Structure 1
Amino acid sequence: MTEVQPTPLNQYVGFDSITRQIETKLLKRGFQFNVMVVGQTGLGKSTLINTLFASHLIDSKGRVDAFEQPRSTTEIHPVSHLIIENGVKLRLNIVDSPGYGEQINNENCWDPIIKYIKDQHSAYLRKELTAMRERYITDTRIHCCLFFINPTGHTLRPIDVTVMKKLADVVNVVPVIAKSDSLTLEERAQFKARIRDEMEYHDIHAYPFDSDEFEEGERELNERMRDLIPFAVVGSERNVVIDGKTVRGRKNRYGVINVENENHCEFNQLRTFLTRTHLQDLIETTALKHYEAFRSRQLLALKESSAKQQQAQQQQQMQQQANGV
């Protein structure tokens, strides 16, 4: 295709206001973001989500006190909230998944999680193919999956590798090391390096992805984010006082962990990544990569099924004619 050269204008026309028009409509309608948390029971999944969005959005299912056994999530449970910041409305869907790998027999324990993600794609496709479809289809597709890794300091469990690999095929996976304050800085760096090596060895592609469409600045930003993955995080809804200043953190016998102090953990980098730099790209990547792949497979299967059915009908008609029916 021949490249079209820009034509100079003799006076101001006004179509440059289209960006403000789009912004006004989008602000009125609001935005939808769906995030799923996956990991073992007791890794602080609910606490981290509440810390990320600075609000009590989901109840923790971990220990209430030191003598109580952690309570596990027994089924996939979405929780919806409408949060507003500076006039921007975000409909936030948080999907808490069952703790996996905790039974005697863990065969296919990841199936309910994968099925839920695919079911949301299927529901969206059905609405999209409806003759009288909605003007704005409610989007329940999972835009981001936070995969929580136990801070053992050693390696990933085989089941972690399996689940992460299967998730990466259908959703944007962002791995995080939970409760990273249990590791020293040296242990944390070594653990992160081992996990990245394992992900590369097993061909696990976490978000963000490479693309030729990105400009140089976007590619550099994504490269910096990939260097941080998995994010070593600490979550806390409790306020503690450090040098007369109230911060969110965890207090232990050795001192206070400030979750927003980048010398203590990478919570700030994760929050910036999810909400301030890559929120829209997570939504777009879900639609253009994961959902589009699902949609193509479904439509091809539907086409093949229809062709086989038509062929069977033709054979039946030919058989009837041959029998003189």
Structure 2
Amino acid sequence: MKSPDSGNRDDSPNTKEEEAEQDCSSPMVDLKVQISKDDESAQTEVEKGTLMKKSADNDSSDIIDEYMDISLFDVKCRRVPTISKMLRDRTIITEGYSIGIDQIPLQRERMTAHKGVHFTLMVAGQAGLGKTTFVNTFFGSSILPSVWNKKDHNSSQERTKSITCHTAQIEGYGTKLNLTIIDTPGFGNKLNNAFSWIPLTNFIDDQIRSYIFQEEQPDRIKLRDKRVHCCLYFIEPTNKGLSTLDVVTMKELSKRVNVIPIIAKADSLPKSHLTNFNREIRQIIDVQNIKICNFLNSNDPYYDDIFSNIPFNIIASENHVMNNRGELVLGREYKWAVIEVENPKHSDFSKLKDILINKYMADLVQSTEEYYENCRASLLKTRILKARDICFSSKPPLVDISDELKEFFKTLDYENCDNNGIKNYACYQLFNKKYIDELVLEWCQEYIHRQWEAKRRFNEIVNVEENKFQDWRKAILKRQEKFNNEINSIHKQIESLQIECHDLESRAISSRSGNEKSLGNLSAMVGKT
């Protein structure tokens, strides 16, 4: 509605205020328009819930109508002019005036330094390769306990075979590093190392799923984040290339985490042998298509420091020795020389430390976040599709579900799950962590292999018993045939005897009749006499 005195726009004292309100109001909130107290009719209409405005400008009235047509989640509506659009033609008041935008990165830096950086590192490899020594040397503190520091070396609890997490907070130059080290003792120590990598991959997957379900909780303040950002895989310096266990383990780990291979105890090989060993490992990695730092772009020159230096030759030591220059350094002392840990000529320790900490730690964390988002989307879609399987499958459902909920699931859009909106949470609630854990157990490679092994053994037993049964059947049939032949021969003997008996009877009858005739003739001759 227009007020009677709306002929001149500049004469209205509230026009500018009302226009500012129109431009600054968001389309997702109710538009409030100031109305003169003198206009009792307009006040009455406002009390009834009718939006009215006094203005002589037809454009202002059109904007009001446009706001009235906008709904809360209507993404198809035409967007109205915003403040950012109006400020494009702003006028600079003071040349060179700074509002402090350049301080925002520094604010971010201070926040990161105060809260700390979370980083989770997994060290994998066979026992005796110096993983504990390397970690303690790398971070300059005794994070991992050494079995050699224990008093009783014969104790049965010296070495644990389960994956263990060690946490530590390292602070330097005002920055905190919340570090988690995943130790993998007992890896590759079995006589049969088939599926030895399963505990490692299961741990990485479990941490991803755990974080997904933690984020679904209402209270997410106490989130426990143990997602693995990087895995250092220790290679034994045997000068014989990579073992089958190393190849398979790195291939499986590289699908889930950024893997960096390192040659442990590099000082145990001569320099020429070590060079050949490095070249052979790189060839095996290329041939077996092992993805090193799979979540980083290998084609980006920014990451050349990583991909051009693998594998890293590492020497670690927690002891200080005196070098040739009279300096006390970390290293190992031999009869022929002193090997320095941080000397680039002796070891790639400093290079790896520079790559892992100084340059690319944030990249490793960010790439893991991107991988996590892909896993999260995949898991959520899997839980939704399980609802579809319940509705449209003839197999009995694995979970208890009411008919009402089943009918509700039939109304969901399974082609484009995002169209369901909040309805998807019914699927998430039904297929919860307990169900997903059971489902993951069924999908486990080791579980599937054990099922296959059990079926194979069962089939072998069945085949053996079947062969025994066939042998018994053949023996029985053979004996039956023998008995039948004996019965047939006996029948033939009986038939021949019957024939002989019949002949004898015939002869006896004929001889008897002949004798009677002879006696009759004899008696006749005697009577004539």
Q: Give the TM interval when normalised to the shorter protein.
A: 0.7 to 0.9
Residue 40 (structure 1) aligns with: 126
Q: 2:319 aligned with 1:238, yes or no?
A: yes
Decide whether aligned partners of structure 1 residues 234 and 316 sit closer, same or farther in structure 2, where only a CA change above 3 A counts: closer
Residue 294 (structure 1) aligns with: 375
Confirm or deny: 8 A CA contact 1:233 1:267 kept in the other structure. yes
Task: List per-residue Cα deviations over 1:207-261 (Å, max 9, x = no partner).
Answer: 165539x9xxxx3342232121110000000000113210000112221110111
Higher relative contact order (CA 8 A, sep 6+): 1
Q: 2:168 aligns with which of 75, 78, 81?
A: 81
Confirm or deny: 8 A CA contact 1:41 1:72 kept in the other structure. no
Residue 262 (structure 1) aligns with: 344
Confirm or deny: 8 A CA contact 1:75 1:97 kept in the other structure. yes
SS of alignment partner, residue 214 of structure 2: helix
Q: 2:166 aligned with 1:166, yes or no?
A: no
Distance 1:278 1:64 in 2: 36
Residue 204 (structure 1) aligns with: 290
Distance 2:234 2:338 in 1: 23
- The 5-angstrom pairing of residues 126-145 of structure 1 reads 126-130=213-217, 132-135=218-221, 137-145=223-231
Distance 1:295 1:64 in 2: 43
Q: 2:333 aligns with which of 213, 233, 251?
A: 251
Confirm or deny: 8 A CA contact 2:321 2:332 kept in the other structure. yes
Query: Percentage identity across aligned positions?
Result: 33
SS of alignment partner, residue 228 of structure 1: coil
Residue 242 (structure 2) aligns with: 156
Residue 124 (structure 1) aligns with: 211
Decide whether aligned partners of structure 1 residues 9 and 174 sit closer, same or farther in structure 2, where only a CA change above 3 A counts: farther
Task: List per-residue Cα deviations over 1:276-296 (Å, max 9, x = no partner).
Answer: 01111111111112x233223
- The 5-angstrom pairing of residues 177-192 of structure 1 reads 177-192=263-278
Amino acid aligned to 2:357? T
The 10-residue stretch of structure 1 (108-117 or 133-142) with the greater mean CA deviation from structure 2: 133-142
**Shift, 1:24, TM fit:** 2.1
Distance 2:106 2:190 in 1: 54
**Shift, 1:16, TM fit:** 2.7
Distance 2:90 2:237 in 1: 60
Q: 2:109 aligned with 1:23, yes or no?
A: yes
The 10-residue stretch of structure 1 (274-283 or 97-106) with the greater mean CA deviation from structure 2: 97-106
SS of alignment partner, residue 32 of structure 1: strand
**Shift, 1:27, TM fit:** 1.8
TM-score, scaled relative to structure 2:
0.54
Q: 2:186 aligns with which of 52, 76, 99?
A: 99
Structure 1 residue ranges without an equivalent (≥5)? 318-325
Distance 1:9 1:39 in 2: 64
Amino acid aligned to 1:119? D
Distance 1:237 1:9 in 2: 64
Residue 320 (structure 1) aligns with: none
Residue 32 (structure 2) aligns with: none
Residue 200 (structure 2) aligns with: 113
Distance 1:189 1:201 in 2: 19
Decide whether aligned partners of structure 1 residues 124 and 99 sit closer, same or farther in structure 2, where only a CA change above 3 A counts: same
**Shift, 1:45, TM fit:** 0.2
The structure whose residues are more often strand, as a share, is 1
SS of alignment partner, residue 227 of structure 2: coil
Confirm or deny: 8 A CA contact 2:112 2:175 kept in the other structure. no
Decide whether aligned partners of structure 1 residues 211 and 8 sit closer, same or farther in structure 2, where only a CA change above 3 A counts: farther
**Shift, 1:100, TM fit:** 2.1
Decide whether aligned partners of structure 1 residues 63 and 273 sit closer, same or farther in structure 2, where only a CA change above 3 A counts: same
Q: 2:366 aligned with 1:284, yes or no?
A: yes
Distance 1:93 1:209 in 2: 20
Residue 90 (structure 1) aligns with: 177
TM-score, scaled relative to structure 1:
0.86
Amino acid aligned to 2:175? V
Amino acid aligned to 2:305? R
**Shift, 1:64, TM fit:** 8.3
Q: 2:100 aligns with which of 14, 24, 28?
A: 14
Structure 2 residue ranges without an equivalent (≥5)? 1-84, 394-402, 408-529
